[in-house]
Structure formats: C-alpha cells, structure tokens
Chains A and B, each alone.
Chain A
Amino acid sequence: MVNTIRQLIRDTRSQKLRTLLTLFGMIWGTTAVSLLLAFGDGLHSQLAKSNAGMGNNVVIGWPSRTSIPFEGLGKARRIQMDDDDIELLRNKAYGLGAISSEYMEGFKLQYGAKVLSVSVSGVEPDFGEIRNLIPAEGSRFINPVDQQKRRRVAFLGDELAGQVFGDVTPVGQIIKLQGSPFTIIGVLIKKTQNSSYTGQDNGRVFIPSSTFKMMTGQKFISDFVFTASDIEKTKGLIKDVLRIMAAQHRFDPTDDEAISFWDTSDSAKFFQTFMLAFKIFLGAIGCLTLVVGGIGISNIMNVVVEERTREIGIKMALGAKPRIILGKFLLETLALTIVGGSIGILITLGICTVFPVLNLTEYVGDPNISTGAATATAVMLGIIGFISGYFPARTAANLDPVVAMKM
C-alpha cells in the first residue's frame, strides 16, 4: 500500500502539468456544481421565506357588493358580515382549517412623547397561526383569554416596535391607542413578506377583535382570513363559504363578486412547480458540468495511458499483473477526482461563508450547501472518477506487452 502511494506520487509528480490541468478541471467542475446547488438552495429558501410571509395558503375574503339580482333584490347590494357569520362558517364550512375575522382602523398611538398614527387590526387568536405571525422570543400572540376578557393587549409588527421603543424591550411596556392604555404582549419576528393586502405586517398593531369592537363600536368585519384543512380542498372550501354566505345574506351562490376572495394557494402551487423545475434545471446543469469534467479527466487519462504505453508494456513484461495496472490507473483518477473535488467543495464553502458579507441576502438569499447537495456532489464525483478512470485503465491493462513495448 505504501509502495502504491509512493509510486502514485512519483507518477503524478512526473506529469506535473497534466496533473495540474486535471486537478483544475475537477476543481472548476466541482466548484461550479456545488456553488450552483448552494445558490439554488439559498435562493429557494429565500423565496420560500418571502412567500410564506403572508402565511401558508391563506384565503382572504372581503365582503363587497352583489353583481347578480337575486329573488327580487337588485344588484350592487352591499354585503356586510359580522362575527356571527364567521361563527357560522366556522361551524359549517366544509374542509375549513382555521378562520378569523379582521377589523381595521387607523388609531393614534402614544408612547411617552411619541405620537404616531398606526393601522390597527382587531383579530381573533387563530389569526396569528393563519397569517404566519410568529412572535419573537419572549413574546406571544393574542390568546383566547385576551379575546374573551377583551383585554387591552397589543401585538406589534417588528418595524413599528423598533420605531416606537428603540432599544427598550417592548414586551410589558404600556402604549396608548386612542388614549386607552394597552400592554404589549408580543412582537413579530423579522420576516420577509413579498405580498400583502393592507400594508406590511411589520408596521401594524394587532389587538383582540373583542377589544377592538368595544373601543370602536364597529359591527362589521373588514375582511376575514381562513385556511383549508388541506391545500387541495381550498377551491371547494371557497365555494362552500360563498354558498353558506349566499344563503345567509340572500344572494346568488354563483355571485363571486358578493364576496371577493384572494386565494394565495394559487401562487403557492405555482411557486412549488416553479421551484421544482428550478431545482431540476440546476441539477441537470450540475450533472452535465460534472459529466463534461469527467470526460475531460477520462481524456487526460487516455493520453496518459498512451504516453505511458511503453512503460506499461515494460512493466507487464517484468511481471506486473494487468489487474494491478488497472487498479493503479483507477486509483490515480480517483485520487485526482477526490483531491480536486474536495478543493472545489472547500472553495464553495469559503464562498458560502464570505457571501453574506456582500449584503445581497434580500435578493438572492445566502448560498448554502445542504447535506443533500454535498452528498449528491460527492457521489457524482465518485462515480465520475470511477467511470473516467475505468476506460483508460482497461485500455492500459488490455495491451499486449510486446505491442506496448514497441511504442
């Protein structure tokens, strides 16, 4: 074994340029592939993060005006929904996951000397889950007791919290909304949101809808949000919600303007398909790059075999076994592949570590070598090393000593 390694080192040393070129090819290939995968991964999780900003597969419904005359009632009749309607839907809508009403208004917020005008949403406890409003550490979202007892508690968007409190920890602080004192119970974690319907969550205040109604006397909801128990059921659920409300408010159940819906699962589905296609594309490019690299190595090894034919012939004449010669060439390519591949992966790791410094995270995400990508690259490298080593090795071992020596 020691001999083999020593011989290997000697052989590769005597072929400096060629070895260097092979290594370079392998390093280049691996770096390209793993970087591609790493950036693909980073971009994917960044896109997924922004996409989840609204919540997963949320449907938002706005009561609006009818567009079809129904049972003697004219069109353009205004539909208004209240908590009872939400309760009805909660009990009757088929395939419903969770639902929450949302009341909205602009309030005056006071904290010490600071006075701001903010958008306030009065929501139910489920709203947080539905809309993916994750509380930062040490804080919480509105819970059922807050709702039941009409507590004056508020959950703040992270940017607004920063604006109001600066370095002070917001949780436990008292602010005034329309003059009434509210205790801060939670702050939103920093999140990326690339779509919204009433401004970004990070600038809003969320309070229990019961408290909201008590303060404003509002009776009708601004909108309601809900999810299906299963993303596949979303379309049917929307129809069912419309049907229940049509019966309740006496409008045509096919009148889809009476309540307008925004189904975010549409874009989620598109997003999933897109990401899958994107990953397949990246993978295909990666594989091709590596295959091209492999062909390069194979070619180089072929030249090496050709160039060393005489040497191989002499060695076989002296009793070197073809199997040993085959093994030696395989080992040589494998070693080159592994060394080149490792260097390539190290370079990629380096780039992944340095990249966040460039502050491009928001646009392309941070490249990230996942275990899957690393394993895939490693396996590909192994296979390519083996295949590209095998054919030249076989050529070498199949030579007749007499023929080979005459070269």
Chain B
Amino acid sequence: MFLDGFFNSKKRYSSVENGNVIDLKGLTRVYVTGKIKVEALKGIDLEVRDGDMVAITGPSGSGKSTLMNLIGCLDTPTSGSYLLRGESVAGLSREELAGIRNRRVGFIFQNFNLLPQISAYENVEMPLLFSGLPRQKRRERVYELFNRVGLSDRMDHKPTELSGGQMQRVATARALAMDPDIILADEPTGNLDTSSGSDIMDLFQELWEQGRTVLVITHDPALARRAPRQVEIRDGLITRDSRT
C-alpha cells in the first residue's frame, strides 16, 4: 500500500541509536494528595529493545499503571530520566508531549476508552485527525486497520453496539493508527472473558511477530508467559526481569 510509504519513512528515520526504544533510569513518581504522599514508583531502571514484547506483572497497587502512564507520556515522572528512542522526554511542553503520544505511542486501556457517541470508524480515525492527515489518506488507513484487526464489517457501529472483545480490537486498531514506536496495553484483557482475552493476546503476539515493540500489563500468569520477557513490579520497584 502506498500509505506504508508515509508510515515507514518515519520508522526508518527514527530507528537509530543503541536499539533501545525505552530507556528508564531511576524513574520515580510521587503522588501528592493534600498532605499524603504516595511513592508509587521508587526508582525504576528498565530498558526495552526494539521489537521486544514485555509482560508486566505485579500485585494490585504496585505501580504498574503508573509506570505505563509514564512510558506513554500521559504523566510526567517526579525524578529520573526517560529516553524514548534516545531522546529525553523530560522538559517537553504539553503540546510536544501530545505530539509524542500521537505519533510514537499506541495506548490500549483496560476499559477501552472509546468515545461512545461516535462510530468505531471515527474512533479509529481520531489519532489520524489529530496528526493532520488529509481525509482521503485517513480513510484508506482506517480501512486498512479494520482489516488488520478483522472488524471490517463493524466499522459503522457505535462502541456500545460491540462486544468487549470487539471493542478492544477497535481500541487496538486505534492504537496502531499512527504506526507507533511502542504499543502499551494496561490490562487489555482485564474486562474480557478468557477466550476473547486470549484472542486479544493472540493479536498482540502477531503484532510482536511483525516486529513491533509491545508492553502488556496483565494479572493473568498464563497470558504473561506468552510474552518472551516478564517484568515483575512490587511496591514501586522491579523485583524480577526474566526471559522465557
């Protein structure tokens, strides 16, 4: 497809450096609510290589989501450094961070976070809209994406008219829209039954096999084992980092 030209040129241009897409050093995040301070992350060192697939596990409240939000530039760290493809994210303006979220990060949420009042098509189109891609190109890209997640026949449905598994596919298509450097999924299967959860995991595995970098948070040890690398977080620190 001629669109691949547009999206791949970016990839070629940015895949330099030491091969680490994500490079975290001493990352901390302290939440301050009133007088109470919660140290959600106490110093995270993590390197993720291009094309890796990482499952992040850990008990509830250990800081998994906090970490994921930092990696996805939805939140800013209290201290520590974060290099995304060798470039420091610290000190970027809100506008610049929005640009990074748009082009480099594909986020998938446990509760899908689809906009209920617009169609699946329009949901997937949103990141493309924000990037300023012309209408015709957006259209081609959205068709391609729905084809990719196997939902071409549901494009015009509202999210509420879809099953959980289908909604998460739409969300995945939306995350893939701008062909991001990393795909981040925060408990993508948390709201799904076992079989559709497994399907979504299959989809992620396919994406990884196609060379994408994928980070998935999951509570399910069986799903975690399907990733080649598992990172465990406890109490704001990485306690285990292993490969199978």
Contact = CB atoms under 8 A, between A and B. Distances in A.
Q: Do A and B bind each other?
A: yes
Interface of A: 3, 10, 14, 310-311, 314-324, 397, 400-402, 405
Nearest to B100: A319
Contacts, number: 59
B130 A317 contact: no
Contact of A320 (B72, B74, B130, B178): B130
A318 B74 contact: no
Contact of B75 (A3, A314, A397, A402): A402
A279 B131 CA distance: 52
Given A14-B117, A314-B113, A319 B103 contact: yes
B127 interface: yes
Given A317-B113, A322-B94, 19 more contacts: A314-B113, A314-B115, A316-B98, A317-B72, A317-B107, A318-B101, A318-B107, A318-B127, A318-B130, A319-B99, A319-B101, A319-B178, A320-B98, A320-B130, A321-B95, A321-B130, A322-B95, A401-B75, A402-B75
B141 interface: no
A152 to B, nearest CB: 87
Nearest to A11: B117
B126 interface: yes
Contacts of B115: 311, 314
Interface in B97-115: 98-103, 107, 109, 113, 115
Nearest to A322: B94
A323 B117 CA distance: 23
A111 B177 CA distance: 97
A322 B113 contact: no
Interface of B: 69, 72, 74-75, 94-95, 98-103, 107, 109, 113, 115, 117-118, 126-127, 129-131, 135, 174, 178
Q: Is the interface of A mostly helix, strand, loop or mixed?
A: helix
A91 B91 CA distance: 87
A14 B115 CA distance: 13
Contacts of B127: 318-319
Contacts of A316: 98, 101
A319 B130 contact: yes
Contacts of B95: 321-323
Contacts of A324: 130
A322 B75 contact: no
A2 to B, nearest CB: 9
A316 B113 CA distance: 12
Contacts of A317: 72, 74, 101, 107, 113
12 contacts: A14-B117, A314-B113, A314-B115, A315-B126, A318-B126, A319-B100, A319-B127, A320-B98, A322-B98, A402-B75, A405-B109, A405-B113
Contacts of B109: 405
- Of listed A315, A321, A323, A324, residue having the most chain B CB within 10 A: A321
Contact of B99 (A3, A10, A321): A321
Given A314-B113, A318-B174, A402 B74 contact: yes
A315 B118 CA distance: 13
Contacts of B174: 318
A14 to B, nearest CB: 5
Contacts of A314: 113, 115
Contacts of B98: 316, 319-322
B130 A315 contact: yes
